[in-house]
Amino acid sequence: MESSVTIPPVPKDRPPLPGAGSNKGAVEGSGTWALSDRIGLAICWGLGLLFCALAIAIVVYLFIQGIKFLRPSMLVTPAAGGFTQTETGGFSDAFIGTLMVAAMGIAIALPVGVATAVWLVEYGRPAALARITESTIEAIAGIPSIVLALFGTVIFSSTALAFLSRSTEGVVFGRSFFAAAAMLSLVALPLIVASTREGLNAIPRHVREASYAVGKTKAATTRRILLPTAKPQIATGAMLGLGRIIGDTAIILVLLGATQNFTPVEGAPFPFNFLRGAGTTLTNFVYEASPTGNLNQPEKAYAAAFVLLLMVLILNAAVDIVHRRARKVGTWSS
Amino acid sequence: VEEELTPEYGPKWSDKRVELMLGALVCGLVGLLLAMIVTVFVRAWPSFAHNGLAWFGPGGNVDDQLNEIFLSGQAGAEYIYTFHAWPLIWSTILITGGAVLISLFCALFVAVFIVEFAPEWMSNILQPVVRFLASVPSVIYGLLGVLILVPLIGNHLVSEPQKASVAGIISLTGYSLLAAVLVLTMMIAPLMVSIFTDGLRSVKPGWLEGSLALGVNRWRTTWKIGVRSARPAIVAGTVLAVARAIGEAVMLAMISGSVGFAPNPADGLIFIYEPSRPLAPTIVKNIDQLTSKPGNATLFSIAAVLLFSAAFFSLTGYVARRSMRKYGSA
């Protein structure tokens, strides 16, 4: 939209007559408005600029603090006990833990989410089940993650699932990367479903009909034509979900354990000893290292928060790039 | 030949089977949600059964009650369940309500600005900014709150006489209602902005043009026609933001003050400096007590209240958004 809206005071060269903007195509300026309307517009500008200022302040402040306190060695040394901030090591375990949780969570959420969306858009029978599923996804999106976490403790400390975490003398610990990732996948699920549905709905009907007409089954059409076409939206959903997973703290706090190091389970083969054990992530580290946490090392908290923010910024940029590329390719001409 | 080229189109992946498999998965999801609701309420039952409606009422010091519950669980003698959660509920209402009111105001103006009045370069900046603010992890907001906002309030905004006036009851250190409300506002306002802008964009242009053609200026057209016909989106965004705010645990555990105290508006303006602790952070702070039986029941009873209210609000938002489709949006 070509807009010539300005904040009051009005520039002098503007004609003060109604229907301001002598050039064709220009939008009506605010020069002719009543004072109350102009005050409203000023509030709009003020709040808009405030939002920008807040975002810039957060990024700049964390960059400054991050560059001041982050040492490359922190990313490779695990946390250690100590009295001063120089003795306590870094947060390599937290960093790797975040990557592990993100990979595992999205590995569960992506197939389930895409399959749910495919069912909703392409099949969706009986209609009652489709409606129930839709509200289930909405409800999962609305459930506080702390409640999901508590539910996770019930599931994963049942003896049937003891092989997913540590157990001593029949009492199942219930805290492990498996447990945390499984519950975190529920946090990412609604975003993936919503985004994939949007992608599938955007494909016009005749594309499907053309595929059926050459004798392809519905399953083959979905796999060979619909899902590849909806790939940008699926990727967007996955990245949004990833952002939620790495940003979540409550589930990690409850289901991954109150420790700052990996605590592998002895006797299990290689990847599983870590995955069954407790651990930590960057969000958990920031929480514990903040003045209200148990470690109270604000400098390290800033450094870890900086790394976390970088991850979020990269994900945001990736979403933007995917969006832009998808738009460049163009949509279906229906 | 065809089978060789396309083995996955064979009977193994027939439509019927695929539909059944996907249907089973979907049923599994629905079942999981039902299982979650049932589990949480079953686990919470001892606490509700023991307290009845008094669970929601005031009475006694809630922190002492929690302590006794946890101690009785360790002692193993007779379990104590007495729990009157009013200070926690009141704190949740104050913090959520305050944050939602402020962000409703801000988000409405910003959304109108993005859709209608901002020059193109400005809305091109604002949209990524809003998306970024929505994606910052809550723990980072909490950290910034603890290290910047809380000391600012504690050292500069609250005066010494004010601190002295409530010295015997509560100490004002900056961990306060005000800090919690401000940071929570920053967290939920972007969410509201993005839903509001969707709603405003889908208003039929003809309605707006009709108003403009009658000589109504753009500002009034936007508010009288645009915002009014986007009402379902505004309700939906607000309600979803409420659900998000109620469930926010970690950030509030960091800056709300973590005292089971009900800030009293009758104290005058000073009550916004008073610390408190909403429901969700109470779970986070006492998560170690999950292993004791009465502690477990009490924490799950809090979770049940959160689950119920969050589900209620997000379903309301869902219904509101469905009714939006009826208005012929997009």
Size of interface A-B (CB pairs under 8 A): 254
The answer to whether the CB atoms of B314 and A141 lie below 8 A apart is yes
* A74/A66 Cα distance (integer angstroms): 12
Which residue from B minimizes the CA distance to A245? B137
Looking at the partner chain, which of B33, B128, B217 has a beta carbon nearest the beta carbon of A139? B33
Cβ proximity of B279 and B89 under 8 Å: yes
* B177/B255 Cα distance (integer angstroms): 9
β-pair partners for B299: none
pLDDT tier at A332 (50, 70, 90 boundaries)? low
pLDDT for res B67: 86
Which residue from A minimizes the CA distance to B240? A142
User: Tokens standing for A24?
Assistant: 């064709």
- With a cut of 70, say whether residue A40 has pLDDT above it: yes
Q: What is the pLDDT of residues A91-110, one digit of tens each?
A: 888 899 999 999 999 999 99
Name the more confident of A71 and B323: A71
Looking at the partner chain, which of B26, B125, B136 has a beta carbon nearest the beta carbon of A133? B26
Residue closest to B297 by CA, chosen among B82, B26, B125: B82
pLDDT for res B11: 62
Looking at the partner chain, which of B43, B110, B310 has a beta carbon nearest the beta carbon of A143? B310
ipTM above 0.95, yes or no: no
Cβ proximity of A249 and B138 under 8 Å: yes
pTM above 0.90, yes or no: no
Burial track A203-238 (b if 16+ CB lie within 10 A, e otherwise): beeeebeebeeeebbbbbbbbebbbebbebbbbbbb
Which residue from A minimizes the CA distance to B125? A52
B128 touches chain A (CB under 8 A): yes
The minimum CA-CA distance between A273 and chain B, rounded to whole Å, is 24
Mean pLDDT (whole number) for A67-82: 80
pLDDT for res A18: 46
β-pair partners for A168: A171
Q: What is the pLDDT of residues B220-247, one digit of tens each?
A: 999 999 999 888 889 889 988 998 899 8
The answer to whether the CB atoms of B147 and A290 lie below 8 A apart is yes
pLDDT tier at B73 (50, 70, 90 boundaries)? confident
- With a cut of 80, say whether residue A25 has pLDDT above it: no
H helices of chain A, in order, are 35-69, 92-118, 127-142, 145-156, 177-201, 205-213, 218-221, 227-229, 231-247, 250-255, 270-275, 282-289, 298-329
Residue to test with chain B: of A249, A259, A312, most B Cβ within 10 A: A249
The minimum CA-CA distance between A95 and chain B, rounded to whole Å, is 15
Name the average pLDDT for chain A: 84
pLDDT tier at B2 (50, 70, 90 boundaries)? very low
Does residue B205 have a cis bond before it (omega within 30 degrees)?
no
CA angle A199, B242, A287 (to 5 degrees): 90
Which residue from B minimizes the CA distance to A315? B135
User: In B, residues 182-241, which contact A (CB 8 Å cutoff)?
Assistant: 186, 189-190, 212, 217-220, 223, 240
Name the more confident of B312 and A237: A237
pLDDT for res A79: 78
Rounded to a whole number of angstroms, the distance between the first and last alpha carbons of chain A is 25
Looking at the partner chain, which of A1, A138, A292 has a beta carbon nearest the beta carbon of B318? A138
How far, in whole angstroms, is CA A227 from its chain's centroid? Answer: 22
Question: What does the DSSP 8-state code read for residue A24?
Answer: T
* A275/A101 Cα distance (integer angstroms): 9
Determine the 3-state secondary structure of A230 from DSSP: coil
pLDDT tier at A330 (50, 70, 90 boundaries)? low
Q: Is the dihedral of CA A64, A65, A68, A72 positive or negative?
A: negative
Residue to test with chain A: of B5, B12, B26, B308, most A Cβ within 10 A: B26
Q: At what angle do helices B231-247 and A145-156 cross, to 10 degrees?
A: 50
Q: Which of A218-227, A311-320, B317-326 has the lowest mean pLDDT?
A: B317-326
User: In B, residues 53-112, which contact A (CB 8 Å cutoff)?
Assistant: 106, 109-110, 112
β-pair partners for A79: A89
Determine the 3-state secondary structure of A167 from DSSP: strand
The minimum CA-CA distance between B60 and chain A, rounded to whole Å, is 26
B152 touches chain A (CB under 8 A): no
pLDDT for res B44: 93
* A129/A312 Cα distance (integer angstroms): 36
pLDDT tier at A59 (50, 70, 90 boundaries)? very high
Residue closest to A151 by CA, chosen among B32, B187, B94, B235: B32
pLDDT tier at A256 (50, 70, 90 boundaries)? confident
pLDDT tier at A27 (50, 70, 90 boundaries)? low
The minimum CA-CA distance between B229 and chain A, rounded to whole Å, is 19
B144 touches chain A (CB under 8 A): yes
B173: which chain A residues are within 8 Å (Cβ-Cβ)?
none
pLDDT for res A328: 67
Q: What is the pLDDT of residues A148-206, one digit of tens each?
A: 999 999 888 887 777 777 777 777 777 889 999 999 999 999 999 999 999 999 999 99
- With a cut of 50, say whether residue B1 has pLDDT above it: no
Q: What is the pLDDT of residues B166-201, one digit of tens each?
A: 777 777 888 889 999 999 999 999 999 999 998 899
- Contacts of B100-103 with CB under 8 Å at 24 or more apart are B100/B188, B100/B238, B100/B241, B100/B242, B100/B245, B102/B181, B102/B185, B102/B189, B103/B185, B103/B188, B103/B189, B103/B192, B103/B241
The minimum CA-CA distance between B184 and chain A, rounded to whole Å, is 14
Name the more confident of A45 and A272: A45
User: Given the structure tokens 């396309």, which residue do they identify?
Assistant: B6
The answer to whether the CB atoms of B135 and A312 lie below 8 A apart is yes
* A209/B329 Cα distance (integer angstroms): 26
Q: What is the CA radius of gyration of chain B?
A: 25
pLDDT for res B126: 93
Which residue from B minimizes the CA distance to A307? B140
Rounded to a whole number of angstroms, the distance between the first and last alpha carbons of chain B is 46
- Strand stretches in chain B, DSSP E: none
